[in-house]
Amino acid sequence: MEFRRICGNIQALHQSFQPSVYCKMDRSSLLMAVSNLLDPCINNNRRNECFMVAENYKTEQFQFADVDFLCDPSQPSVVVLFGLQCLDHYLKHQWGHIDLHTKSSLKQNIFKLSKEINNYR
Protein backbone atom coordinates (compact mmCIF):
# COMPACT_ATOMS: atom_id res chain seq x y z
CA MET A 1 0.00 0.00 0.00
CA GLU A 2 2.79 2.41 0.95
CA PHE A 3 4.69 1.44 -2.21
CA ARG A 4 1.70 2.40 -4.39
CA ARG A 5 1.36 5.75 -2.64
CA ILE A 6 5.06 6.50 -3.20
CA CYS A 7 4.79 5.44 -6.85
CA GLY A 8 1.75 7.67 -7.26
CA ASN A 9 3.70 10.62 -5.86
CA ILE A 10 6.63 9.92 -8.16
CA GLN A 11 4.35 9.67 -11.20
CA ALA A 12 2.73 12.98 -10.27
CA LEU A 13 6.15 14.62 -10.18
CA HIS A 14 6.99 13.21 -13.61
CA GLN A 15 3.76 14.38 -15.26
CA SER A 16 5.32 17.75 -16.09
CA PHE A 17 8.27 16.04 -17.78
CA GLN A 18 7.46 15.86 -21.49
CA PRO A 19 10.55 14.69 -23.36
CA SER A 20 10.96 15.76 -26.95
CA VAL A 21 12.89 13.39 -29.15
CA TYR A 22 13.79 16.00 -31.74
CA CYS A 23 15.11 18.95 -29.74
CA LYS A 24 18.47 19.57 -28.11
CA MET A 25 17.84 18.79 -24.48
CA ASP A 26 19.20 20.26 -21.30
CA ARG A 27 21.06 18.09 -18.82
CA SER A 28 18.24 17.92 -16.29
CA SER A 29 15.83 16.53 -18.90
CA LEU A 30 18.39 13.94 -19.95
CA LEU A 31 19.01 12.89 -16.34
CA MET A 32 15.26 12.61 -15.76
CA ALA A 33 14.82 10.45 -18.88
CA VAL A 34 17.72 8.14 -17.99
CA SER A 35 16.52 7.79 -14.39
CA ASN A 36 12.98 7.00 -15.54
CA LEU A 37 14.17 4.13 -17.73
CA LEU A 38 14.70 1.88 -14.71
CA ASP A 39 12.04 3.33 -12.43
CA PRO A 40 9.48 0.59 -11.62
CA CYS A 41 6.78 3.20 -10.94
CA ILE A 42 6.83 4.67 -14.46
CA ASN A 43 4.26 3.37 -16.94
CA ASN A 44 5.38 1.77 -20.20
CA ASN A 45 4.35 4.70 -22.41
CA ARG A 46 6.47 7.13 -20.37
CA ARG A 47 9.33 4.62 -20.28
CA ASN A 48 9.17 4.28 -24.07
CA GLU A 49 9.30 8.09 -24.44
CA CYS A 50 12.31 8.21 -22.15
CA PHE A 51 13.98 5.41 -24.09
CA MET A 52 13.51 7.36 -27.33
CA VAL A 53 15.00 10.47 -25.71
CA ALA A 54 18.02 8.52 -24.44
CA GLU A 55 18.59 6.79 -27.78
CA ASN A 56 18.27 10.07 -29.67
CA TYR A 57 20.78 11.67 -27.35
CA LYS A 58 23.18 8.75 -27.68
CA THR A 59 23.04 8.68 -31.49
CA GLU A 60 22.57 12.37 -32.37
CA GLN A 61 23.66 14.69 -29.56
CA PHE A 62 26.40 13.01 -27.52
CA GLN A 63 29.78 14.78 -27.42
CA PHE A 64 33.05 13.81 -25.71
CA ALA A 65 32.70 16.77 -23.35
CA ASP A 66 29.56 15.13 -21.92
CA VAL A 67 31.54 12.20 -20.50
CA ASP A 68 32.84 14.29 -17.59
CA PHE A 69 29.29 15.20 -16.61
CA LEU A 70 27.64 11.81 -17.22
CA CYS A 71 30.40 9.74 -15.60
CA ASP A 72 31.00 11.98 -12.62
CA PRO A 73 31.17 9.91 -9.41
CA SER A 74 28.38 12.03 -7.91
CA GLN A 75 25.94 10.81 -10.58
CA PRO A 76 23.68 7.82 -9.90
CA SER A 77 25.10 4.56 -11.24
CA VAL A 78 22.42 4.35 -13.96
CA VAL A 79 23.58 7.74 -15.33
CA VAL A 80 27.24 6.69 -15.25
CA LEU A 81 26.34 3.49 -17.09
CA PHE A 82 24.42 5.51 -19.68
CA GLY A 83 27.44 7.81 -20.13
CA LEU A 84 29.68 4.81 -20.75
CA GLN A 85 27.14 3.40 -23.22
CA CYS A 86 27.12 6.74 -25.08
CA LEU A 87 30.91 6.73 -25.24
CA ASP A 88 30.91 3.11 -26.44
CA HIS A 89 28.35 3.90 -29.15
CA TYR A 90 30.28 6.97 -30.29
CA LEU A 91 33.60 5.13 -30.49
CA LYS A 92 32.12 2.19 -32.40
CA HIS A 93 30.60 4.49 -35.01
CA GLN A 94 33.27 7.20 -35.22
CA TRP A 95 36.55 5.34 -34.63
CA GLY A 96 37.56 5.53 -38.31
CA HIS A 97 37.10 9.31 -38.30
CA ILE A 98 39.10 10.05 -35.13
CA ASP A 99 42.67 11.33 -35.56
CA LEU A 100 45.62 9.29 -34.31
CA HIS A 101 46.50 11.63 -31.43
CA THR A 102 42.95 11.48 -30.06
CA LYS A 103 42.89 7.68 -30.39
CA SER A 104 46.13 7.44 -28.42
CA SER A 105 44.79 9.74 -25.73
CA LEU A 106 41.56 7.74 -25.50
CA LYS A 107 43.46 4.47 -25.13
CA GLN A 108 45.60 5.91 -22.31
CA ASN A 109 42.54 7.23 -20.49
CA ILE A 110 40.73 3.91 -20.86
CA PHE A 111 43.72 2.12 -19.33
CA LYS A 112 43.73 4.62 -16.43
CA LEU A 113 40.01 4.08 -15.93
CA SER A 114 40.39 0.30 -15.86
CA LYS A 115 43.17 0.60 -13.24
CA GLU A 116 40.97 2.87 -11.11
CA ILE A 117 38.10 0.40 -11.36
CA ASN A 118 40.38 -2.46 -10.28
CA ASN A 119 41.67 -0.39 -7.35
CA TYR A 120 38.10 0.45 -6.34
CA ARG A 121 37.20 -3.21 -5.89
Q: What is the pLDDT of residues 66-81, one digit of tens each?
A: 888 998 889 999 999 9
**Do residues 42 and 67 share a domain?**
no
Among candidate residues 74, 78, 62, the one with its CA nearest the CA of residue 27: 62
> At 4, is the secondary structure helix, strand, or coil?
helix
**Do residues 49 and 70 share a domain?**
no
**Do residues 5 and 25 share a domain?**
yes
**Do residues 1 and 53 share a domain?**
yes
Confidence label for 113 from pLDDT (cuts 50, 70 and 90):
confident
- Domain limits for position 79: 62-121
CB-based contacts of 7, cutoff 8 Å, min separation 6: 40, 41
Q: What's the whole-model pTM score?
A: 0.71
Q: What is the pLDDT of residues 2-21, one digit of tens each?
A: 434 443 444 443 344 444 44
Q: How many domains does the chain have?
A: 2
Contacts of 39-48 with CB under 8 Å at 24 or more apart are: 39/10, 40/7, 41/6, 41/7, 41/8, 41/10, 41/11, 42/10, 42/11, 42/14, 43/11, 46/14
CB-based contacts of 91, cutoff 8 Å, min separation 6: 98, 106
